[in-house]
């Protein structure tokens, strides 16, 4: 029994998105593999369906080549995305688009259990969950659970210019106080310190554990 997790968490950091994907897999108790999509180089689907229709797998040659078989063979999949522009990130959206080969004539990953993880600043109403579900709906996968976490960690905490900016997330959270704000490690909220997030991760892992156990019994 194997679970594969793909995260589009921010590059060069072990982000909340990454750690939630890993924790859900680990807590399920099954063998798992983690792939950080932002470390890979790949394009979105280019629409060359005459190439992927027959083999039922994408034929573009980039860093995603090794991922398709892993998705097909896994008993369950965990996908994690930060919220970008109130939706899933383009990195995650491009990844899902490249699974298009799995829906020619046959639904190659129909009913495969998926858990979705979404992390964002969370200061406005988001449509990320709806967009995540819509992107996956052509594949007829089974969405077991959606785990959301509002970290209130805007990109501005890493950009180095928050004190001179009145448009970014730091300004939206702090107002004029952002102009004198010193970025300290404590500002980088961690889901592990949030009881509700911890609960949600445990619940998703438990659902995964049960469903994978059931599907492999019969």
| Alpha-helix residue ranges (DSSP H) falling in the chain | 16-28, 49-52, 67-73, 90-97, 128-136, 156-159, 169-174, 195-217
Contact 112, 149 (CB under 8 A): no
* Residue 37 lies near ligand FMN (rule: CB under 6 A): no
* Residue 148 lies near ligand FMN (rule: CB under 6 A): no
* Residue 5 lies near ligand FMN (rule: CB under 6 A): no
Stretch that binds ligand FMN, among 15-23, 53-61, 179-187, 199-207 (CB under 6 A): 15-23
Residue 149 burial (C-beta neighbours within 10 Å; 0-12, 13-18, 19+): buried
Q: For residues 7 and 81, what is the distance between their CA atoms, to the nearest angstrom?
A: 6
Name, in order, each residue with C-beta under 8 angstroms of 184's C-beta and a sequence gap of 6 or more.
none
**Residue 3: how many other CB atoms lie within 10 Å:** 26
The size of the interface with ligand FMN (CB under 6 A), counted in residues, is 19
* Residue 117 lies near ligand FMN (rule: CB under 6 A): no
* Residue 153 lies near ligand FMN (rule: CB under 6 A): yes
* Residue 196 lies near ligand FMN (rule: CB under 6 A): no
Q: For residues 137 and 143, what is the distance between their CA atoms, to the nearest angstrom?
A: 9
* Residue 154 lies near ligand FMN (rule: CB under 6 A): yes
Looking at the Cβ atoms of 17 and 28, the one nearer to ligand FMN is: 17
* Residue 155 lies near ligand FMN (rule: CB under 6 A): yes
* Residue 101 lies near ligand FMN (rule: CB under 6 A): no
Stretch that binds ligand FMN, among 45-53, 61-69, 133-141, 148-156 (CB under 6 A): 148-156
**Left (φ > 0), alpha (ψ -120 to 50) or beta: where does 84 sit?**
beta
x/- track of binding to ligand FMN for residues 62-91 (CB under 6 A) = --------------------xxxxx-----
Q: Which of 101, 125, 115, 111 is nearest to 53 (CA)?
A: 101
* Residue 151 lies near ligand FMN (rule: CB under 6 A): yes
Phi, psi of 35 (to 5 degrees): -125, 125
Looking at the Cβ atoms of 36 and 98, the one nearer to ligand FMN is: 36
Contact positions toward ligand FMN, by CB under 6 A? 9-10, 15-17, 82-86, 119-122, 126, 151, 153-155
């Amino acid at each position: 029994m194997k679970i594969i997790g793909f995260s589009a968490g921010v590059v060069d950091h072990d982000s909340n998105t990454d750690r939630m994907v890993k924790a859900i897999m680990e807590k399920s108790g099954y063998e798992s593999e983690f792939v950080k999509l932002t470390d890979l180089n790949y394009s979105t689907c280019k629409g060359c369906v005459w190439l992927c229709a027959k083999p039922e797998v994408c034929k573009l040659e980039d860093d995603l080549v090794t991922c398709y078989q892993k998705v097909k063979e896994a008993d369950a999949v965990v996908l994690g995305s930060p919220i970008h522009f109130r939706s899933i990130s383009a990195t995650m959206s491009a990844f899902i688009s490249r699974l298009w080969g799995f829906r020619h004539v046959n639904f190659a990953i129909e009913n495969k259990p998926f858990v979705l993880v979404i992390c964002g600043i969370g200061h406005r109403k988001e449509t990320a969950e709806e967009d995540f579900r819509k992107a996956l709906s052509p594949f007829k996968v089974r969405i077991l659970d959606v785990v959301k976490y509002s970290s209130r960690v805007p990109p501005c905490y890493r950009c180095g210019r928050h004190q001179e900016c009145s448009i970014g997330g730091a300004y939206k959270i702090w107002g004029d106080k952002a102009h004198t704000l010193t970025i300290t490690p404590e500002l980088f909220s961690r889901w592990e310190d949030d009881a509700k997030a911890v609960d949600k991760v445990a619940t998703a892992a438990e659902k995964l554990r049960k469903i994978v156990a059931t599907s492999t019994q019969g």
